[in-house]
C-alpha cells in the first residue's frame, strides 16, 4: 500500500493536532502494511518527514505575513488545495491521508481525520474568519473522503449525527501519547525542573494553547479561591502559546505572577513537557470541549493525578482515573483542586 501523508500541521507552534500528525507519521513509517510512505508539505512531496521545529521558520514568517494581507491570503487559500491536487496526481495508486481535517479537491483515494466539530458546535470559541473558512472546507472534506477517522467515540458519534453519515464511513482510532511520557526518577526530575525554578510535586500544571475553548478563566477563578498560602506553596504553572482572544487571560496571568502564585512559561519545548507533567502535583484541564484531550492522557501516563471537566470526550479519556466536574462549576473545581493537592490517599490511587 502506497500512502501520501499530509504534514502541513507539523509546524511551529506545535499544537495537539501537529503532535498527532508527527507521531502518526513516525508510526506509519514503521508499518509493515505500507510499502511506500510519502509526505506532502505545501505543494511538495518528499520521502522525508519535516523536522519538528521549536521555533518559527522562514516559511512560517511568510505565512503570517500573508495572513495580514487579505488579498494574498485569499489567493493562497484558493490556489493551495489545487497545488496539492496536482502534486498527488502524479501518484495514481496512492492513498492520501489528511490528518488535519482538510482534503484537496479531485483526489479519489483519500481519508481524513476529524479531530472535533467545534467550529460547528461552538463557533463562538473561534475567530469568525476561521469559522467561515473551516465550515466551508470541512463540508468539502465530508463529501470527498472515502473514510473519516476520529480520535474518540464522542467525536465519531457527533460527526455521524451532525452530518447524517453512515456509521460505516466513520472509524474511531483513539490516540496514544508519546513514549516520552512516563513517571520519572527524582534525580532526573530535579535536574530538569531546576531550569524553571520548580520543585517536584510543588506545582499544579495546565498546558494548552491559551484560547477561550480551554476555559482558563474558570481555572483561574477556581485557583484564586485557594488560600494564598496554598497558592504560593503550590503555584499554578501554565504552559501554552498565546492563542486567539486571550488578552484578558494574559492580564490575569501577569497579575498572578506578580502576586507569586502563577508561573507562566509560554510555549514550552516538546523535550521539556514530559518532565513538567511528571513533576506536577496534579494536572488541571477544565476544557469546555475536546475532540480527545491528549494532555489528560499524557498526565496519566506520567503518573500525575488529573482534575478535568466532564465535557465532550474527556470522560472517555480520563475514565475512573481523574476527578471531573462541570466545566463552569467554579466551586466544585476549587474543591477538586484542593483534593488533588491535599488528599494523599486519592493521589496515590490516581
pLDDT at 85: 96
Listed residues 120, 138, 172: the one ending a domain: 172
Helical residues (DSSP H) of the chain, grouped into ranges: 16-29, 58-68, 70-88, 118-121, 128-144, 153-163, 186-194, 216-224, 228-233, 247-259, 273-279, 294-301, 314-318, 330-342, 344-349
Residue 22 shares a structural domain with residue 131:
yes
Listed residues 172, 206, 237: the one ending a domain: 172
Strand partners, 45: 40
Cis peptide before 13 (omega within 30 of 0): yes
Residue 155 shares a structural domain with residue 261:
no
Residue 160 shares a structural domain with residue 201:
no
**7 burial via Cβ count (<10 Å: 0-12, 13-18, 19+):** buried
CATH number of the domain where residue 197 is located: 3.40.50.2000
Residue 159 shares a structural domain with residue 218:
no
Could you tell me if 221 and 189 are in contact, meaning their C-beta atoms sit under 8 angstroms apart? no
pLDDT at 58: 56
CATH number of the domain where residue 26 is located: 3.40.50
* Cell numbers describing residue 14: 506545535
Does 330 fall in a domain? yes
Residue 82 shares a structural domain with residue 115:
yes
Residue 140 C-beta-side C-alpha neighbours within 13 Å: 15
With a cut of 50, which residues of the chain have pLDDT below it?
none
Residue 92 shares a structural domain with residue 195:
no
pLDDT at 329: 99
Does 179 fall in a domain? no
pLDDT at 240: 94
pLDDT at 73: 74
Listed residues 143, 172, 201: the one ending a domain: 172
Could you tell me if 346 and 339 are in contact, meaning their C-beta atoms sit under 8 angstroms apart? yes
pLDDT at 68: 63
**Domain range for residue 66?**
2-172
* pLDDT tens column, 44-76: 999 999 887 766 655 555 555 655 677 777 787
* pLDDT tens column, 6-36: 999 999 888 889 989 999 999 999 999 999 9
Domain count, the chain: 2
pLDDT at 61: 56
Q: Could you give phi then psi for residue 4, rounded to 5 degrees?
A: -110, 125
Q: Are strands 323-325 and 306-309 parallel, antiparallel or unpaired?
A: parallel
Amino acid at each position: 500500500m502506497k500512502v501520501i501523508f499530509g504534514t502541513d500541521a507539523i509546524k511551529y507552534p506545535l499544537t495537539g493536532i501537529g503532535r498527532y500528525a508527527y507521531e502518526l507519521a513516525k508510526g506509519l513509517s514503521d508499518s509493515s502494511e505500507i510499502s511506500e510512505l510519502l509526505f506532502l508539505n505545501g505543494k511538495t512531496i518528499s520521502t522525508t518527514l519535516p523536522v519538528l521545529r521549536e521555533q518559527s521558520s522562514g516559511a512560517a514568517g511568510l505565512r503570517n505575513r500573508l495572513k495580514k494581507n487579505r488579498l494574498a491570503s485569499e489567493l493562497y487559500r484558493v490556489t493551495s488545495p489545487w497545488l496539492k491536487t496536482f502534486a498527488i496526481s502524479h501518484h495514481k495508486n496512492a492513498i492520501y491521508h489528511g490528518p488535519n481535517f482538510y482534503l484537496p479537491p479531485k483526489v479519489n483515494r483519500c481519508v481524513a481525520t476529524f479531530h472535533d466539530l467545534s467550529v460547528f458546535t461552538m463557533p463562538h470559541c473561534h475567530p469568525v474568519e476561521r469559522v467561515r473558512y473551516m465550515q466551508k472546507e470541512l463540508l468539502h472534506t465530508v463529501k470527498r473522503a472515502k473514510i473519516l477517522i476520529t480520535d474518540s467515540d464522542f467525536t465519531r458519534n457527533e460527526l455521524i449525527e451532525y452530518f447524517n453519515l453512515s456509521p460505516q464511513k466513520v472509524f474511531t482510532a483513539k490516540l496514544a501519547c508519546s513514549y516520552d511520557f512516563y513517571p520519572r526518577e527524582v534525580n532526573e526530575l530535579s535536574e530538569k525542573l531546576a531550569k524553571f525554578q520548580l520543585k517536584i510535586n510543588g506545582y499544579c500544571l495546565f498546558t494548552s494553547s491559551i484560547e477561550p475553548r480551554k476555559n482558563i478563566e474558570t481555572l483561574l477563578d477556581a485557583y484564586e479561591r485557594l488560600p494564598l498560602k496554598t497558592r504560593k506553596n503550590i503555584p499554578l504553572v501554565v504552559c501554552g502559546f498565546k492563542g486567539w482572544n486571550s488578552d484578558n487571560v494574559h492580564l490575569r496571568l501577569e497579575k498572578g505572577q506578580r502576586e507569586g502564585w502563577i508561573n507562566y512559561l509560554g510555549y514550552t519545548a516538546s523535550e521539556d513537557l514530559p518532565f513538567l507533567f511528571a513533576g506536577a502535583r496534579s494536572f488541571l484541564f477544565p476544557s469546555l470541549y475536546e475532540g480527545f484531550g491528549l494532555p489528560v492522557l499524557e498526565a496519566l501516563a506520567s503518573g500525575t493525578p488529573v482534575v478535568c471537566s466532564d465535557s465532550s470526550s474527556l470522560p472517555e479519556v480520563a475514565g475512573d482515573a481523574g476527578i471531573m466536574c462541570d466545566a463552569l462549576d467554579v466551586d466544585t473545581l476549587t474543591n477538586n483542586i484542593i483534593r488533588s493537592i491535599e488528599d494523599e490517599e486519592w493521589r496515590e490511587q490516581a
